């Protein structure tokens, strides 16, 4: 997804042209990635981002974003597929996998 498309979709939600927008990156079947549904909160100033699996539609968590800049940053990072906390801990040696064979 291009940066300009992300910005345009955020503006659509902010101006209430759309009630929500979905952000996702098309990936090959063997790769995983999350998608984001962005909505405008009732206060009209903040956004609500719902992170979900685009294949199963399972919702993982929600986050409140204070402005367009934080919405753009959050969506971009989510689409990049940044590593989870568990993956980071494993790489740093804080978590070890156990071989059950």
3-state secondary structure string across the chain: CCHHHHHHHHHHHHCCCCCEEEECCCCCCCCCCCEEEEEECCCCCCEEEEEECCCCCCEEEEEEECCHHHHHHHHHHHHHCCCCHHHHHHHCCCCCCCCCC
Number of domains in the chain: 1
Over the stretch 43-101, which tens digit does the pLDDT of each residue have?
989 999 999 988 889 999 999 999 999 999 999 999 887 655 544 554 455 545 555 55
In sequence order, which residues have a C-beta less than 8 Å from that of residue 1 and are 6 or more positions away?
A: 23, 24, 25, 79
**2 CB contacts (<8 Å, ≥6 apart)?**
none
In a domain, 11, yes or no: yes
Inside any domain, residue 99: no
26 falls within a domain? yes
The per-residue pLDDT for 87 is 44
pTM flag (> 0.85): no
Range of the structural domain that residue 78 is part of? 3-91
Q: Is 76 inside a domain boundary?
A: yes
């Amino acid at each position: 997804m291009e940066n300009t498309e992300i910005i345009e979709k955020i503006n659509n939600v902010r101006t209430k042209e759309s009630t929500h927008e979905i952000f996702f990156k098309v990936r090959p079947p063997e790769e995983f990635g999350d998608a984001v549904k962005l909505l405008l909160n009732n206060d009209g100033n903040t956004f609500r981002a719902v992170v979900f699996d685009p294949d199963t539609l399972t919702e993982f968590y929600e986050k409140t974003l204070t402005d367009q800049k934080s919405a753009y940053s959050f969506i971009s990072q989510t689409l990049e597929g940044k590593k989870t906390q568990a993956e980071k801990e494993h790489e740093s040696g804080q978590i070890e996998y156990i071989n059950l064979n």
